[in-house]
Structure 1
């Protein structure tokens, strides 16, 4: 078993807000991130897959195919979008770093041929990231 990681980047806006809370509670918990106009980040996505090395190609996965899957399933959907307003999975979920990692996992699970999705890591900033390993962890 070997692990291979591919990176992608996208820029998105979001805000943190819980409709069940008052304005004061949202501002207390989320601070300036509760501003309903939103703010943006340049996200870095790392997707790690696990599998066996193909003896013919020397690859775990077709690298171009993996790049194309990340582009189609994540980057083209999230890039230059307001996550709260334009991305369906965040209509009811707060687009925190943690929830973005879970959403990306759900978009990619079972879509990468010949490899198992092992980890999704989302960097919101260079010093803030979330890892998700699926339900098995």
Structure 2
């Protein structure tokens, strides 16, 4: 039998929508308030869903504590209260 477990988590991060190849005026026209030089922030809500067979010995699809640790280590510690433009190389301009 398969079932799905879910775990919800939250984090906050900021960024600036900006194309360095454009003039300041064009950036303001295209991105508006999201081009603010002081950046703007978002509150992110994530729901991680895991579907799988129930382990007959534990009754788990996955240990929720292990899932919480993965979410903390891979998502929250990486992005929470970070500037996505500067602190996260995968999102750099």
Partner of 1:7: 8
Alignment of 1:57-72 (within 5 A): 57-72=58-73
**5+ residue gaps in structure 1?**
93-137
Is 1:83 the counterpart of 2:84? The answer is yes
**TM-score w.r.t. length of structure 1:** 0.61
Partner of 2:25: 24
**TM-score w.r.t. length of structure 2:** 0.85
SS in 2 for 1:41: strand
Measured at CA, do residues 53 and 13 of structure 1 come closer, stay the same or move farther in structure 2, by a change above 3 Å? same
**For the residues of structure 1 that align with 2:22 and 2:53, how far apart are their CA atoms?**
48
Q: Displacement of 1:19 after TM fit?
A: 2.3
Task: Give the superposed CA RMSD.
Answer: 1.5
Based on CA coordinates, which of the two structures has the bigger radius of gyration?
2
Equivalenced residue count is 92
**For the residues of structure 2 that align with 1:2 and 1:22, how far apart are their CA atoms?**
52
Question: Which structure ranks higher in relative contact order (CA pairs < 8 Å, sequence separation ≥ 6)?
Answer: 2
SS in 2 for 1:86: coil
